[in-house]
Structure 1
Amino acid sequence: MSTDHKFEGWIAYNKDSAKGNLQWGTYEPKPFLDTDVDIAVTHCGVCGSDLSHLKSSWKPADYPLVVGHEIVGHAVRVGKNVKSIKIGDRVGVGAQSLSCFECDRCIHDQEQHCTKTVITYDARYADGSKAYGGYAKYWRGSSEFVFQIPDKLPSEVAAPLLCAGITTYTPLKENGAGPDKRVGVIGIGGLGSFGILLAKALKADKVVAISRTSSKREDAIKMGADSFIATAEETDYATKYDSTLDLIICTVSGPNLPIADYISLLDVNGTFIQLGAPEDPIPSFSAFSLLRKNIKLGGSLIGSRKNIKEMLQLAADSNLAAWINVRPMSEANQVVVDMANGKARYRYVLKNDL
């Protein structure tokens, strides 16, 4: 088994890294365990979370760090206790790379909520070593969170599915998106695009794309949305489309989010799931928005290993056509800036050329 590869990647040393100031360099990965896998990274999706960590928006980042948690590549080193992966396999890892495997949550396929979770970067293992992400040549971590990529699924499509995809698939699946469900997707960006694609793959009865303006209407319809609501242009949308949806997944956030208006779009017993992670609190709204139609309000965080495997197979079986922009890994700094400026249509994926 090869052990001579050098861990190099785009390293963030401070908040200015989010402005295109990542530096290519070497770093020391976690100690290799018998249950671990080393992956030679071929592709890594660029997630909005990457920018939040680089800027220390959610919490002070543990600099230096390497971001990236939509990782696909080939296994180049496999621990002796690993049974599910062999050298050369095309594999991927998402936003979570470890849990305790013993608690009630882990036992019941809710390991993304384990209190001992280690996320894929900007985190530390129990021994104090750092977790580093996929803007790099190699990635190291537990085989338990490394997934085989189906043969039919291109690597550049598989990568963003491992975070953006599973973040939207989980609430869709767990809230019954299918032939009898009318689904609304708020926000047509990196998450929202996968929300539309996966809702259609799950054969939802109707998928409605919801955005502030109509600038993305044509794209959303091409993705598979059956209709489109531009909330800033149809000022009466909350009454015009009252009670027309059964499930809404909201991929955006912010202090001015019109949650009460969005909730009005739901029919009796409808469900509103918040996915967008805000830097500021979401606004308050009247409890009557929930009471008058027995609305369920919730959130969702990535997904279980079981759901990730199901989603990857669904994407392969349905020939899911992700809307992605593939860019060279060498351009990571410019890609981060472009993402921050809203230029992605609709998800950047770095392809390793380093």
Structure 2
Amino acid sequence: MTVGVNYPEEFAGYAVHDVKEWNHPKYTAYKPKTLDDYDVDIEIECCGVCGSDLLTAQGGWGDLKCAQVVGHEVIGHVVKTGPKASLYKLGDRVGLGAQAFACLDCPRCKAGNEQYCAHSVTTYDGVYPDGYVSQGGYASHVRAHEHLIFPIPDEIKSSEAGPLMCGGLTVFSPLKRNGCKPGAKVGILGLGGLGHMAVMFAKALGADVTVFSRTNDKKEQALKLGADAFVATGKEGWESELFDSFDILLNCAIGLSGLNLDAFLSILKVEARFVSVGLPSVDEKFNVSPHTFFSNGAHLSTSCLGSRAEALELLDLAVKHDIRPWVEEIPLTAEGVSEAMTRCWKGDVRYRFCLTDFHKAFGTGTYAN
């Protein structure tokens, strides 16, 4: 059923009101944050479903500030700009990822690391200085700083661009920063929503790519995505033949249960890097002995999102190499949101969901084709 939204006085979306009902968000109207000088309003066309949405909705990353609209793989059109915003004009098709604000004045921001800004506000469940709790993309509109909003190339379909805003950027940034280039040997752990995009971007950057998964079930899909090799880690001693092989291992699996980190660190070259981007619930920990690092001086690290410069490079690369996430579209309704969240949590998707038909759901569509 289409419901009209009283924009710009209010936004509306599907909000989680109780972590016990995390996969049954309800239609909710709410007031937007104050329009600051560099803010931009996006009238949303579609939004990808990310594992972060589910963990946040469940309270897996800490207490949830209810009522909360999740979603941070937003694609839509600019319908309003702040008085000093200059990057976009009305009607531009743009995307927003997991970060809605950065100060752009601290040393981190000035060094192109705005995703690590101490004053950063996430697209949802973040808190602005005035106490306003940010609301995300399963909604009619979203308001964010123009620097964290990215122009979407005409060549990329909206529902395929959505997952690039968070999932794509989350894997692209650490690949770029840790030496993924021609001649590099890169391993991708986990072929899911993050991992399948990591394979494609690593190949586009020129690397030799190996996918690691517990069984051989996804081998054919990994090779179709462009992987050069596939390793099933459920086999005892799988690591013995791969000693001193890899320049980068990128862990794209959310859960750490069953991860033999010692084995993975053993296959890295000297001073090479294991980088984890799948962020589990707060009670999960890495299980590794310091003695493991003595054999090769390996680095263990994580990575957060990516910068604006990296997002723009990602989009250019996606056009040049025809990189498109594997997406299943589900129309935005109460039932549709519930289905997407539930199936995503069960891993019943190859490999990303994107919620669509937002204009129909909210009675919007100012710049709809």
Tell me the secondary structure at the aligned position of residue 63 of structure 2.
coil
Q: Does 1:13 align with 2:14?
A: no
> 2:256: which partner in 1?
254
CA contact (8 A) 2:199 2:227 kept: yes
- 2:271 aligned to 255, 259, 269, which one? 269
- Partner letter of residue 13 of structure 2? G
Q: In structure 2, do the counterparts of structure 1 residues 283 and 144 end up closer, same or farther at CA, with 3 Å as the change threshold? A: closer
State how far apart, in whole Å, the 2-side matches of 1:188 and 1:137 are. 32
The residue that corresponds to 1:240 in the other structure is 241
The 2-side partners of 1:87 and 1:321 are apart by 27
Range with greater deviation from structure 2 (147-156 or 180-189): 147-156
The aligned counterpart of 2:3 is: none
Stretch deviating more after TM superposition (2-11 or 302-311): 2-11
Aligned counterpart, 2:337: 332
Aligned-partner SS, 2:46: strand
Q: Aligned-pair distance for 1:4?
A: 4.3
Question: Aligned to 2:194, what secondary structure does the other structure show?
Answer: helix
What residue number does 2:111 align with?
Answer: 108
User: In structure 2, which of residues 168, 180, 185 is the aligned counterpart of residue 182 of structure 1?
Assistant: 185
Identity across aligned pairs (percent)? 36
The answer on whether the counterparts of 1:196 and 1:223 sit within 8 Å (CA) in structure 2 is yes
2:77 to 67, 74, 77: 74
Residue 53 (structure 1) shift:
0.7
Preserved contact between residue 42 and residue 141 of structure 2 (Cα < 8 Å) = yes
In 2, Cα distance between the equivalents of 1:321 and 1:119?
Answer: 25
Cα distance in structure 1, aligned partners of 2:276 and 2:314: 20
CA–CA distance in structure 1, aligned partners of residues 287 and 52 of structure 2: 24
Q: How far off is 1:210 after superposition?
A: 0.4
The reply to whether residue 58 of structure 1 matches residue 61 of structure 2 is: yes
How far does residue 5 in structure 1 lie from its aligned partner after superposition? 7.0
Q: Using the alignment, how far apart are the partners of 1:96 and 1:177 within structure 2?
A: 24
List per-residue Cα deviations over 1:292-344 (Å, max 9, x = no partner): 11212211111111111111111122110211111111211111111111101
Q: How does 1:130-169 map to 2 (within 5 A)?
A: 130-169=133-172
User: In the alignment, which of 35, 39, 42 is matched to residue 39 of structure 1?
Assistant: 42
Out of 221, 227, 238, which is 1:225 matched to?
Answer: 227
Q: TM-score, normalised by structure 1?
A: 0.95
- Matched with 1:289 is 292
Q: Is the CA contact (8 Å cut-off) linking 2:10 and 2:32 kept in structure 1?
A: no
Following TM superposition, by how much is the alpha carbon of 1:158 offset from its aligned partner in structure 2, in angstroms? 1.3
2:308 to 302, 305, 308: 305
Matched pairs, number: 350
- Structure 2: tracts of 5 or more residues without a match: 1-5, 362-369
Report the Cα offset of residue 162 of structure 1: 0.9
- Look up the match of 1:318: 321
2:245 maps to a residue whose letter is T
What amino acid maps onto 2:224 in structure 1? K
1:43 to 1:242, Cα distance in 2 relative to 1, 3 A: same
CA displacement, residues 196-251 of structure 1 (integer Å, 9 cap, x when unaligned): 011011111x100001111111111111111111111x222110222222110011
Question: What's 1:214 paired with?
Answer: 216
For 1:28, give the aligned amino acid.
K
**Per-residue CA distance 1:142-162 (angstroms, 9 max, x = gap):** 112111111212211211111
Distance in 1, matches of 2:110 and 2:50, equals 29
Cα distance in 2 for residues equivalent to 1:227 and 1:70? 30
The separation in 1 between residues aligned to 2:37 and 2:198, in whole angstroms, is 37
CA contact (8 A) 1:256 1:282 kept: no
Partner of 1:342: 347
Measured at CA, do residues 223 and 5 of structure 1 come closer, stay the same or move farther in structure 2, by a change above 3 Å? farther
CA root-mean-square deviation: 1.5
Native 8 Å contact 2:24 2:337 kept in 1: no
| Displacement after TM superposition at 1:255 (Å) | 4.0
Separation (CA, whole Å) in 2 of partners of 1:193 and 1:115:
31
Gaps of 5+ in 1: none
Q: CA deviation at 1:3?
A: 5.5
- Tell me the SS of whatever aligns to 2:301: strand
Higher relative contact order (CA 8 A, sep 6+): 2
Deviating beyond 4 angstroms after TM superposition, the runs of 4 or more aligned structure 1 residues are 2-6
**Does the CA-based 8 Å contact 1:256-1:283 persist in structure 2?**
no
**Residue 12 of structure 1, CA deviation:** 0.7
For 2:11, the aligned partner's letter is: F
For 1:227 and 1:218, the matched residues in 2 are separated by 10
TM-score of the pair, normalised by structure 2: 0.92
- Tell me the amino acid that sits aligned with residue 21 of structure 2: S
